[in-house]
Structure 1
């Protein structure tokens, strides 16, 4: 034993001396006898206590926060970001769960979830869902599961299929568009899932959703804007339409366009509000107008508060286009 090293008590000798003192679960410097997934960031509290990594009293102290039943997180991680919320749900499930639905879409890099959407997890057994979690039992092929950041999650195609079965058709199309754009697959591939899983709840909705989907849509608001126009009876606009810029010899991309009528539609999100972006957008619109395009620019407030005005403006623009171009 190195000089100065702490001497470990002989628990066998102590026990035979009649003492009732129980040995600590783990002596200082000893490795944990059991691997506890996620320790010391996001983990099952009971497993950490059994492994001797922490005492029940210290678990209740300031260093950790209970985020789900028997699931704890290091305080500096709270409030949890999306990936850590999913990781916490995975820990809570004992590693048996597969993150699915909106949570899986976000994990895969397709930001499209409605505000406040719960973390959905597929489990092989029934379980009561804690707050902020949705538990679902469903048929799942092993090839429809992948690992992301140490979390089991449904693949983008399976995630799109699940969300395409949702009750809200607009949200379903938004999800399929976002996942298809991010991962480069054709939405029609989801028909194979509809055949494989015919009889599952909501499968009958999938063909209708695919008929409205467009893998070229670059953001959920663009999808919502396109659906607004189509449902109002206007022709379907082209998503991400390129317009040649002869001066700069490169394409200028329009969010939505009616090329024959030279009507372009742009969604102005938060990323368009920075000073440099505002100046670039102004120059871009000038070039488009100079090329003979009429450009209509809308924000989230227009979509939320005045959808009728959007439809009326685009309808008039198409009506006033040269004969035979709309």
Structure 2
């Protein structure tokens, strides 16, 4: 007897019936019950969104699919906030929300469902349509950007869903979200940084602008840029803290400064804690 999701995220009753584990062990320190009858092994860190999403799928397996931030996570376009709940879509009302679980009640067209390994999720386009209707316009743009970049589609394709589902919750916000969307964005934090500037009334920066070095025959790609003013804005994620990347970035930024560029570098801490300072610095740089 095979147990779906074993040993990552699984139904406890099925695992016990298959002889893979006992109820006593499931209730012990080695396993964590995330949802009713759904367990995961205890790790050194709390379960992340990917693991919680797989657990949520086991809860609704046969009745629903992963959607929203969970679908994006499993599809390889991770973009949800750190505290995003696992999310499922079910056709009826036989699944109620629980702590850590968001439930959408909707009927999906078969063409809006795909499978990743042993988990069913909404397709990239349907997932982007769902995220693009969020109340928070910034997070809506983050979701659309991430999926459009990962799967190389034009965000305006989501208007087809808007025409198909004109009464869907939040559909009237979709055109505004699409005016801000940019499939060139390389990361959710890059999108959040861009939206911080745009919503503050600053001109929209160019995403992933190439700065060419004709002599070396190479190019440096800036996360955000105002090319006519030679202003570059970089989001520095944790990968830039690795020793080899620190050394690489030294030469990279020296070359940009030598070519007449002003470079502004920000981390998640400035974006989260000092957004007004970021806006003020870029406003002064643009002299607007």
TM-score by length of 1: 0.80
Per mean C-alpha deviation after superposition, the further-off stretch among 227-236 and 281-290 is 227-236
Matched, 1:268 2:243: no
The alpha carbon displacement at 1:89 in A equals 1.4
Aligned to 2:251: 283
The alpha carbon displacement at 1:57 in A equals 5.1
Matched, 1:226 2:194: yes
Distance in 1 of aligned mates of 2:282 and 2:44: 47
Say which one has the larger Rg.
Answer: 1
Distance in 2 of aligned mates of 1:164 and 1:304: 22
Q: How many aligned positions are there?
A: 287
The alpha carbon displacement at 1:84 in A equals 3.1
Distance in 1 of aligned mates of 2:48 and 2:76: 14
Unaligned runs of 5+ in 2: none
Pairing of 1:1-326 with structure 2 (within 5 A): 32=1, 35-39=2-6, 41-49=8-16, 56=23, 59-60=26-27, 64-74=31-41, 79-126=46-93, 127-319=95-287
Cα 1:246–1:41 change in 2 (3 A) is: closer
**Contact 2:91 2:107 survives alignment (8 Å):** no
Partner-residue secondary structure (3-state), 1:88 = helix
Distance in 1 of aligned mates of 2:45 and 2:281: 46
**Contact 2:5 2:118 survives alignment (8 Å):** no
The alpha carbon displacement at 1:74 in A equals 4.6
Distance in 1 of aligned mates of 2:245 and 2:210: 19
Cα 1:88–1:191 change in 2 (3 A) is: same
Report the aligned-residue RMSD.
2.3
The alpha carbon displacement at 1:40 in A equals 5.2
**Contact 1:123 1:135 survives alignment (8 Å):** yes
RCO higher in structure (CA 8 A, sep ≥6)? 2
Cα 1:52–1:289 change in 2 (3 A) is: closer
Partner-residue secondary structure (3-state), 1:160 = helix
Cα 1:72–1:233 change in 2 (3 A) is: closer
**Contact 1:69 1:130 survives alignment (8 Å):** no
Cα 1:285–1:54 change in 2 (3 A) is: closer
Distance in 1 of aligned mates of 2:208 and 2:31: 47
